[in-house]
Structure 1
């Protein structure tokens, strides 16, 4: 598959998944690109103690999944600090835990990209995304 329809079930599923992650993190802003290769950016309000002068963000792409990053000194690029590395589409609660650990004394995730898949491959990834379309991915605690 060379292109992903911005209105189809995989694109809607990606947006729904990202919305669930952003909601879990109270992210002030996020955006995504649904065409191959799909990517996303979630701004985080809190800065890392070890990088107090740099904005912090979560990045996602369909090759490596989630990564924690900080803006470079110029503010034009981002520098990846760690990859979550569990799965391309981990539960939003796992992403939130990754971020909590990042702000704590832990160094979560892994330093190298996991390289889960080749973007655009016919490997079932679009079907996984489509499963999130119209689905409440991560309900608040105590709700089923």
Structure 2
């Protein structure tokens, strides 16, 4: 379980992982929540051609991994368009490729949540996150 004080290696790793993705996408803003279930929101500057009137965001959570979403017409909710679906913690370059394909009017990923894991489960997820913390631990291989 991610340490709730936000100071543990898993929480630091999550922040570093998200920062790496945000930097590669030049995201103007991002937010992460380290409590279980952990999640994140990255604002994307460009709008999708098929949704020109809606803000676009990249979402991540520890159950389903990455998803591209647009604001609902009311602007109060986010509507997920596609889930990356490869892994809950894919390489940042895989996330970037997913986003680029969405902007190219492709239909990457999958429409349904993949449900990779149960939040808070003792399944090695925290160790995978901790590997991104910069604490001298080698990054793990992606799991399918």
TM-score by length of structure 2 reads 0.91
1:102-141 → structure 2 map (5 Å cutoff): 102-134=102-134
Query: What residue number does 2:70 align with?
Result: 70
Aligned partner of 2:142 in structure 1 is none
In structure 1, runs of 5+ residues without a counterpart are: 137-144
> Compared with structure 1, are the counterparts of its residues 38 and 2 closer, same or farther at alpha carbon in structure 2 (3 Å cutoff)?
closer
Q: Which runs of no fewer than 5 residues in structure 2 stay unpaired?
A: 137-144
Separation in 1 of the partners of 2:57 and 2:4? 25
- 1:90 corresponding residue in structure 2: 90
How do 1:38-77 and structure 2 match up within 5 A? 38-77=38-77
Query: Given that residues 4 and 10 in structure 1 are in contact (C-alpha distance below 8 angstroms), is that contact kept between their aligned partners in structure 2?
Result: no
Look up the match of 1:23.
23
Runs of 4+ in 1 over 4 A off after TM superposition: none
**Shift of the alpha carbon at 1:56?**
0.2
Once the two structures are TM-superposed, the CA of residue 49 in structure 1 deviates from its matched residue by: 0.7
CA distance in 2, matches of 1:38, 1:134: 19
- Alignment check: 8 A CA contact 1:47 1:55 kept: yes
Contact in 2 for aligned 1:14/1:133 (Cα 8 Å):
yes
CA–CA distance in structure 2, aligned partners of residues 135 and 19 of structure 1: 16
Q: 1:139 corresponds to which residue?
A: none
The two structures, once aligned, show a CA RMSD in angstroms of 1.5
User: How many Å apart are 1:35 and its aligned residue?
Assistant: 0.7
* TM-score normalized with structure 1 length: 0.91
- 1:79-135: CA deviation from partner (whole Å, max 9, x where unpaired): 000000000110100000000000003100000000000000000000100010017
